[in-house]
Amino acid sequence: MPKDKWPYREKARKALRDPVFQRGLEGIQLRIGKATLERYKEVPDIETLRVEGLRTRMKAIQNLEAYLKEFAYHVEEGGGMVFFAKDADEAVDFALKVCSAHKVKTVVKGKSMVGEEIRLNRALEERGIRPIETDLGEYIIQLAGEGPSHIIGPAIHKSKEQIGRLFSDKLGVPYTSVPEELTSIARRALRERFFEADMGITGANLAIADSGHVMLVSNEGNIRFSITLPRVHLVVMGMERIVKTLEEALLILRLLSRAAAAQRLATYVSIVGPKEKIERGGAFYVIVVDNGRSKIASDSDFKEALACVRCGACLNICPVYGKIGGYAYGEVYSGPIGAIINPLLFGIDTYSDLFFGETLCGACKERCPLHIDIPRMLLELRRRYKEGDPHFQVAAKKGIEYVLLKGFEIYNRAPFLSKIGTRLSRLIVEK
Amino acid sequence: MVEKNLLFQTLLEQADFLGVKTYVVDGDSQLNLTLSEVIAEKGFNDKKICILNSEHYDANRLRVYLNSRNIDVFFIDNNEDYAKTLNTIKEVEIGITPADLLVAETCTLVIRNKRPFLRELSLLPPIHIAIIGEDQIIADLYKAVEILKSDIMKGDGITLITGPSKTADIELNLVKGVHGPKEVILFIVRKDFNQKI
């Protein structure tokens, strides 16, 4: 059953008309976007590192099955358990089984994109388990009942005044719009939850195949709390989030820190396996989620999309994301990389506006710490959409739509035509 | 010697960038003196202070010294009951801890997770004071991994700490101390004056 088309234009328009959202987007692009570039320039051999980073990630995508097997072997040798989930339902189902086995009532969560992807919170709530987001941005949007609008800045669409009113409504504290005060309100509220929680759920920035560890990165310290205090640690990770060795993980970590928040190194990095939990009588589980990823990995044109380290750098430079924000992309992944991942994971026909909406200007590829060729994949998605692809259940387009798409394709591939088009549009806009 | 100075310079620059106040002291007695001065100067006297045992400094002597200066400090031994001790740490306002290594390039403290209460005491209190021996300073992360690799391959976990806890989630304003410490203070104890390290 084909799903309806995602209302891209409507969502984009909504963001365009929201002045607070526009200010947030402008801020993140001007500040984090620019600072990232400065951090790259600081490293003399940065280009070598970026090439090496992509090579490392692609080697992992090439050897996914072997690496995951090795990772699982080491986790289980250490007393943990790894579950391979082929889709969101299987992943959620296993997570619920873990909860009931350990009589879990309250869960503290570190930010996890794949957790959002499989709608884990909703499933936990339906079972009467309280999932508490602990990243400040995620906590804010959870209180507001909203989704993340940016991979690393989930609440950039909110003003400090809106957050102040939200805290005052939901937490019963006196109104303030001072960021330091709002932060310390959240610190106090969440501190208690960390002590109460029976289980911590985190994603994984990377898993390390040859040692059975996961690497978790944060600036706030919420992930350290989530994995240190509760008895049980459950990791939910996309199956592509793996490298072979600790040294490879460090290389990616260095690139990730600079790209995500213009830091030499993120504040906290935890490299943990089952050992500490098991020794203290607790438990350690990992859910490895496929949910459409192995299909991407087996497609030679698109497997490069799986190399992404979710730093958000392409969002911080993209002229389209910078205006329409994260919600227009429909699923949890947004920006240029989301315009590839969402259609591939959740339907090319449903999310076709995403890859037609991007400009192919190439800024994303330029800014990506791994130089992932996003424009190439956007074009390829347009071609598959037009010509059809049984592998991704896309029917070829016929009649007038085909003719229009063909025209668009010629236009895109002929530089002189695009130039004329850009000039014409400038004339129109400037009038 | 030149190399060592370069390492120090990189470290101090990076510490400054991160807002990590760093004191270089000669031997145990200067450590005791400077630490007590810092605590008094900052008006931390009335705060609940807790110190963790270490092979890198004499925690007991340090405690006695601080006590003599009217600074109340309590001490956690490695083999105390976890739940009970955690409850104590919950109330602590300054945690004084060792660390396994200090990476100069990024001013990163490296700790082994198997050290009892080190993860907790470096995370929960609003102020974290780390005491490091000069010999524990290394150039970069790769060196850290090289040193700790055999333990990691046996399953041990490690934590890297680079500066105070921070967030920019509210309108991109940098706020320190969202979950972890607001302030990280570093004491580097120079070796030549201290036989213990």
Question: If pLDDT is split at 50, 70 and 90, which confidence band does A21 have?
Answer: very high
pLDDT of residue B151: 96
- Assigned token pair, A60: 């992992």
Mutation pick from A133, A188, A219 vs chain B, by most beta carbons of B within 10 Å, is A219
B196 has pLDDT over 70: no
Give CA–CA dist A350/A381, Å, rounded: 12
Mean pLDDT calculated for residue range A270-290: 97
Minimum distance, in Å, between the CA of residue A250 and any CA atom of chain B = 8
Q: B interface toward A at CB cutoff 8 Å?
A: 14, 82, 86, 90, 105-106, 108, 113-114, 119-120, 123, 141-142, 145, 149, 152-153, 155-173, 175, 177-181
Q: Pick from A205, A147, A156: which is nearest to A27 by CA?
A: A156
| Mean pLDDT of the residues in chain A | 93
DSSP A397-417: P-HHHHHHHHHHHHHHH-HHH
Cβ <8 Å between A180 and B175:
yes
pLDDT of residue A1: 43
State the DSSP H helix or E strand holding residue B23, giving kind and residue range, or none if neither.
strand B21-26
Question: If pLDDT is split at 50, 70 and 90, which confidence band does A427 have?
Answer: low
Asked which of A62-71, A93-102, A140-149, A288-297 is least confident by mean pLDDT, the reply is: A140-149
Each residue of B95-126: pLDDT tens digit? 999 999 999 999 999 999 999 999 999 999 99
**Residue B124 CA from chain centroid, whole number:** 13
ipTM: 0.95
B70 has pLDDT over 90: no
- Assigned token pair, B138: 């290394």
Each residue of A45-65: pLDDT tens digit? 999 999 999 999 999 999 999
Minimum distance, in Å, between the CA of residue B178 and any CA atom of chain A = 6
Mean pLDDT calculated for residue range A81-104: 98
Q: Are A228 and A222 in contact (CB under 8 A)?
A: no
Question: If pLDDT is split at 50, 70 and 90, which confidence band does B72 have?
Answer: confident
**Residue of chain A nearest B113, judged by CA positions:** A276
Each residue of A304-328: pLDDT tens digit? 999 999 999 999 999 999 999 999 9
Each residue of B133-186: pLDDT tens digit? 999 999 999 999 999 999 999 999 999 999 999 999 999 999 999 999 999 999
Residues sharing a CB contact under 8 Å with residue A80, sequence separation 6 or more, in sequence order: A212, A273, A274, A277, A278, A283, A284, A285, A286
In chain A, residues with a C-beta closer than 8 Å to the C-beta of B166 are 219-220, 267
CA distances from B110 to A2, A149, B102, B157, B167 (A): 51, 33, 6, 11, 21
Q: Are A301 and A349 in contact (CB under 8 A)?
A: no
In chain A, residues with a C-beta closer than 8 Å to the C-beta of B157 are 213, 270-273, 275-276
Residues sharing a CB contact under 8 Å with residue A128, sequence separation 6 or more, in sequence order: A105
Cβ <8 Å between A190 and B152:
no
A2 has pLDDT over 70: no
Residue B106 has its nearest CB partner, among A155, A264, A270, at A264
Give CA–CA dist A304/A233, Å, rounded: 30
In chain A, residues with a C-beta closer than 8 Å to the C-beta of B170 are 136, 140, 155, 160, 163, 179, 182-183
Mean pLDDT calculated for residue range A69-86: 98
Cβ <8 Å between B157 and A273:
yes
Give CA–CA dist A225/A135, Å, rounded: 11
In chain B, residues with a C-beta closer than 8 Å to the C-beta of A195 are 90
**Residue of chain A nearest B82, judged by CA positions:** A280
State the DSSP H helix or E strand holding residue B61, giving kind and residue range, or none if neither.
helix B59-68
pLDDT of residue B197: 39
Mutation pick from A220, A252, A257 vs chain B, by most beta carbons of B within 10 Å, is A220
Cβ <8 Å between B157 and A271:
yes
In chain B, residues with a C-beta closer than 8 Å to the C-beta of A224 are 119, 123, 159, 179-180
Cβ <8 Å between B142 and A186:
no
pLDDT of residue B195: 46
SS3 A428: helix
Residues sharing a CB contact under 8 Å with residue B55, sequence separation 6 or more, in sequence order: B98
**Residue of chain A nearest B148, judged by CA positions:** A246
Each residue of A112-125: pLDDT tens digit? 999 999 999 999 99
pLDDT of residue A359: 92
Helix pair B27-41, B59-68: axis angle to 10 deg: 50
Give CA–CA dist A319/B84, Å, rounded: 54
Mean pLDDT calculated for residue range A161-186: 97
Q: Are A213 and A272 in contact (CB under 8 A)?
A: yes
Task: Count CB neighbours of A142 within 10 A.
Answer: 21
Question: If pLDDT is split at 50, 70 and 90, which confidence band does B44 have?
Answer: confident
B89 has pLDDT over 50: yes
Cβ <8 Å between A184 and B177:
yes
Residue A275 has its nearest CB partner, among B157, B161, B169, at B157
